[in-house]
């Protein structure tokens, strides 16, 4: 048992899925902090790679049986589950879902092993179904990992309202961000040349909207105002700034918004004040495209945690995002690395202010560097994972549940 593997249950690349990318990065840094152990993955059937077992078949109602059998074969040091509702929802021939019943059944089936679950969607104001699921999840897990403190302290308001006790086996571990992707100002010209931005005639100064193009990301808000913002920046500080809209669509349900917003970006491109750049936001290219921007705008209308923000933090890029907006607002307040807006007029003012104030951009960037080093780095997060693993193993050994402190 001394060298038993850590087993991650999650979607996994090459699936174009935020949780899959998250799991891939998490695995890398979990392995670095546990060099004596294998870190294996049980994934959906489209997962690939060394140490990956692609056996989660959501076309089967009892998909969890194959997973439980593999767990019994692997005899893990700990089971670390990445959870998102859509990943584990079985739907019958009528299209009716099981409410993640199979996932909860899986946790019961592998209850003899230490279990850590990391749910990626925990809204501040839970629906009845979500509240019940989180309650059942905490009952069946040794440790549950939330991304933000507000998610934990909100439970102490929500659950008593149902007459339930607040779970005490919850730890707060932030969304990890890579500590090895910082790029110096001197490196940006070569990246611009590599990407062809200079040949495209892009300005030396760029405001970026970078990442997967999804309906909740609301690129249209900034696109609709950019021409006016561009002229105001030029008037106030005498500089030329372009809007770089870069990414791709991955969900067919968002195709209509993608086509409309892409057309809007191309219209700005024809006017010589913006550019649309299509690319798959994964891997090193994601960071390099984002690195060319002076700051990033993330106008999301639904986000409990954000892989895009993790990359912004990794690059120490100043940013502007919407508020109040769950994890985006929480991490902006904690990091002091971004500006917040609640109206279109506020967004306009913040973009102009950040474009015209280099000292503010430097200050926000330094705050993000500190936040990355001290809080959000995957190297820090991996150590917190190890603490959770130890707590889960101790709970299994003693039969005593994990009890953590309440937030307030």
- pLDDT tens for 373-386 read 999 999 999 999 99
Residue at 407 is within a domain: no
Q: What percent of the chain has a predicted confidence (pLDDT) above 90?
A: 98
Same domain? 167 vs 74: yes
- Asked if the model's pLDDT at residue 156 lies above 60, the reply is yes
Three-state secondary structure call for residue 335 = helix
Residue at 404 is within a domain: no
Residue at 406 is within a domain: no
**pLDDT bucket at 31, cuts 50 / 70 / 90:** very high
Number of domains in the chain: 2
**pLDDT bucket at 168, cuts 50 / 70 / 90:** very high
Average of per-residue pLDDT values in the chain: 96
| Nearest residue to 309 (alpha-carbon basis) of 244, 221, 368 | 368
- Asked if the model's pLDDT at residue 292 lies above 70, the reply is yes
**What is residue 402's DSSP assignment?**
P
The Cα 101–Cα 200 span in angstroms is: 51
Q: Which of 27-31, 200-204, 266-270, 358-362 has the lowest mean pLDDT?
A: 200-204
Same domain? 158 vs 205: no
- Work out the average pLDDT over 14-27: 96
- Asked if the model's pLDDT at residue 2 lies above 80, the reply is no
Residue at 368 is within a domain: yes
Same domain? 190 vs 271: yes
Residue at 115 is within a domain: yes
Same domain? 391 vs 350: no
Which residues fall within 8 angstroms of residue 101, CB to CB, at 6 or more apart? Answer: 90
pTM of the model: 0.95
Q: Residue for token digits 């997973």?
A: 67
Same domain? 135 vs 210: no
Residue at 405 is within a domain: no
Same domain? 137 vs 198: no
Same domain? 141 vs 242: no
Which residues fall within 8 angstroms of residue 392, CB to CB, at 6 or more apart? Answer: 78, 114, 115, 116, 142, 143, 402
| 155: CATH | 3.40.50.2000
Q: What is the pLDDT of residue 192?
A: 96
Count how many residues are written for the chain.
408
Q: For 335-347, write each residue's pLDDT tens digit.
A: 999 999 999 999 9
Same domain? 163 vs 290: no
Token code pair at residue 285: 């290219």
Same domain? 213 vs 108: no
Range of the domain at 244: 185-376
Token code pair at residue 153: 């302290």
- Asked if the model's pLDDT at residue 109 lies above 80, the reply is yes
Q: For 116-130, write each residue's pLDDT tens digit.
A: 999 999 999 999 999
Q: What is the pLDDT of residue 82?
A: 98
Same domain? 41 vs 126: yes
Same domain? 157 vs 270: no
Half-sphere exposure of 2 (CA within 13 A, CB side): 1
Same domain? 248 vs 289: yes
The string over 88-106, giving b where at least 16 C-beta atoms fall within 10 Å of a residue's C-beta and e elsewhere, is bebeeeeeeeeebbbbbbb
Q: For 40-78, write each residue's pLDDT tens digit.
A: 999 999 999 999 999 999 999 999 999 999 999 999 999
Residue at 269 is within a domain: yes
**Rg from Cα positions in the chain:** 22
What's the CA dihedral at 298, 299, 301, 305 to 10 degrees? 10
Residue at 299 is within a domain: yes
**pLDDT bucket at 106, cuts 50 / 70 / 90:** very high
């Amino acid at each position: 048992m001394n060298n038993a593997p850590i087993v991650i249950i999650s979607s996994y690349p090459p699936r174009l899925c935020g949780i899959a990318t998250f799991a891939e990065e998490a695995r890398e840094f979990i392995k670095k902090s546990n060099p004596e152990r294998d870190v294996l993955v049980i994934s959906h059937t489209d997962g690939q790679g060394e140490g990956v077992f692609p056996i989660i078949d959501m076309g089967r109602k009892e998909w969890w049986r194959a997973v439980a059998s593999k767990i019994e074969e692997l005899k893990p040091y700990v089971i670390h589950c990445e959870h998102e509702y859509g990943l584990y929802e079985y739907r019958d021939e009528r299209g009716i879902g099981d409410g993640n019943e199979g996932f909860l059944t899986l946790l019961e089936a592998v209850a003899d092993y230490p279990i850590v679950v990391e749910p990626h969607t925990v809204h501040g104001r839970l629906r009845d179904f979500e509240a019940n699921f989180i309650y059942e999840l905490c009952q069946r897990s040794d440790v549950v990992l939330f991304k933000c403190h507000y998610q934990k302290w909100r439970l102490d308001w929500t659950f008593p309202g149902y007459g339930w006790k607040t779970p005490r086996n919850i730890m707060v571990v932030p969304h990890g961000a890579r500590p090895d992707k910082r790029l110096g100002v001197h490196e940006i010209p070569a990246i611009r040349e590599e990407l062809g931005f200079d040949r495209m005639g892009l300005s030396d100064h760029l405001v970026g909207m970078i990442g997967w193009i999804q309906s909740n990301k609301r690129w249209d808000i900034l696109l609709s105002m950019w021409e006016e913002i561009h002229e105001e920046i030029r008037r106030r500080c005498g500089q030329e700034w372009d809007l770089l809209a870069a990414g791709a669509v991955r969900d067919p349900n968002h195709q209509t918004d993608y086509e409309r917003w892409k057309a809007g970006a191309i219209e700005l491109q024809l006017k010589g004040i913006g550019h649309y750049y299509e690319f798959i936001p994964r891997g090193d290219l994601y960071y390099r495209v984002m690195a060319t921007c002076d700051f990033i705008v993330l106008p999301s209308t639904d986000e409990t945690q954000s892989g895009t923000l993790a990359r912004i933090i990794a690059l120490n890029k100043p940013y502007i995002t919407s508020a109040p907006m769950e994890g985006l607002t929480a991490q902006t307040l904690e990091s002091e690395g971004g500006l917040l807006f609640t109206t279109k007029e506020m967004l306009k003012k913040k973009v102009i202010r950040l474009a015209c104030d280099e000292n503010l951009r430097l200050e926000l960037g330094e705050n993000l560097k500190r936040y990355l080093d001290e809080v959000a780095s995957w190297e820090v997060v991996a150590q917190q994972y190890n603490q959770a693993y130890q707590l889960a193993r101790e709970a299994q050994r003693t039969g005593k549940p994990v009890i953590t402190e309440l937030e307030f």
